[in-house]
Structure formats: C-alpha cells, structure tokens
Amino acid sequence: MTVWERLKRDIQAIRERDPALKSSWEILFAYPGFHAIQAHRVAHFLYKHKFYVLARLISQIARFFTGVEIHPGAQIGAGVFIDHGAGVVIGETAVVKDNVTLYQGVVLGGTGKEKGKRHPTIEENVVLAAGAMVLGSFTVGANSRIGAGAVVLQEIPPNSTAVGVPARVVRLNGQRVDPLCHDQLPDPIGKCIGEFREQIAKLEERIERLEREKQAVWGAEHGASRD
C-alpha cells in the first residue's frame, strides 16, 4: 500500500467513525490523533532504516503537540482512528492492524523489562474504549471490544467483549452491538452482586426453616416432659 493510499484510508476511517466531523478540513488541521499517526509513519520509516535518534525525536515532537505517544518501532495499520487522543501510549513492539479504533487514555504496554516482543498485537476492527490498558505480548482478536477502564492481561479471542479489572470476556446474550457503542457493555460486578443476593436470600430462608424446626423440637421435648 502506497503512502497516499494509507493517507486516504486514515481520512476515510475518521469520516466513517466520527459523528462529530463536519468537514475534511477538520481532519487536516484539528485532529491530533490523525496528526500523531502521520508523524509516526515518518518516524517508523526512519526507525526501520536505523535512524533511531531522529525517529525518537520526531515521536517526541508529535507527543508534545498531540498528547499521543507512539514509539517509532510500533506497527500501525491503515484506517486506524485515534479519537481525542490525549494520553494514548503505544509501545515499541505493539502491532495495531487495520481499522482499529482507540479512544483517549488507551495504553498498549508491556509488563516488564524483557527483550523481544513484549507489547500486544491488536487485530483488525478492534475498539479500545477510553482508559483501556492492554499489557503484555498477546493478541486481542479481530472484531473485539475492550470496555472503558479495562485492564487486559491475557489473550482475547476474536468477536469478544472484555470488561473489568482484570478484564474478562463477557457476552451480550448473542445480540449484535454497534462497533462504536462501547457504552453498551455488560456489568459483571452487578451480575456478581445479584448472584450474592440470591445466595443470601436462600441462606436466610434455610436459617428460618432450621429455626422453626428447632423451636418445634424444643416445644415437643418440653411438652413431653410436662406430661
């Protein structure tokens, strides 16, 4: 894919996924996520040709102006949309494939000082909601959604929704959710609380039954002793 083809895909991705967009001119002049990705493409080219210091300098300048930090070694696909962008961090060995959407505060990081592949791979069409953290050298499967504030520490299979800290894969009762509706997620904590309430209700009912049986036995014994 040529430079111009990638540029067109990046612009088209924003036009398709951002309902607040009024004009393509906004993309060129007022979208820090778009600016960060274009700066990264230059930095990544230099990084691959071993101009490491210059590549890092470009990435740091882009970080200063956009609030998005992408290591020059990271691989970013076409049609990637960083919405708002503030606080997004993408590590050196991270791979972000085509048509991925990242909201503000997303972190694609590592878990230690190990060498080699230590950052996640994000497959096509994944949505990472605000504040999501994906930490480690595993894969988030295609068409998956990571909920806001989730901390992902293990592989996520394709077509999944993961929420929580640490993140767990949950289902939406088989109902299709729009790819950008990351607010329509299950509440695993609420579900657990509901299950606890059911268990407590059963325990209370059992205790009441045992109390009645105890009173009945006590009454029978004392009635017999009076006779």
Kindly state the tokens that stand for 170.
């949950």
CB 155 within 8 A of CB 172: no
- Tell me the pLDDT band of 182, cut-offs 50, 70 and 90: low
Tens digits of residue pLDDT in 47-60 = 999 999 999 999 99
Q: In what order do the strands lie in the sheet with 107-109?
A: 69-70, 89-90, 107-109, 133-135, 151-152
Grade residue 167 by pLDDT with cuts at 50, 70 and 90: confident
What residues pair up with 109 in beta bridges, in sequence order? Answer: 135
CATH of domain 3-186: 2.160.10.10
Predicted local confidence at residue 177, as pLDDT: 47
Q: What is the DSSP letter of 89?
A: E
**Statement: residue 187 has pLDDT above 80:** no
In terms of Cα–Cα distance, which of 32, 31, 54 is closest to 42?
54
Cα–Cα dist 14/70, whole Å: 19
| Rounded Cα–Cα distance for residues 110 and 106 (Å) | 13
Q: How far apart are CA 216 and CA 39, in angstroms?
A: 81
Name the more confident of 189 and 83: 83
Mean pLDDT, the chain, whole residue set: 87
Q: Which of 102, 108, 107 is nearest to 120 (CA)?
A: 108
User: Cis before residue 166, ω within 30 degrees of 0?
Assistant: yes
SS (HEC) of 132-195: CEEECCCEECCCCEECCCCEECCCECCCCEEECCCCEEECCCCCCCCCCCCCCCCCHHHHHHHH
Q: What is the pLDDT of residue 173?
A: 45
Neighbours of 73 (CB within 10 A): 19
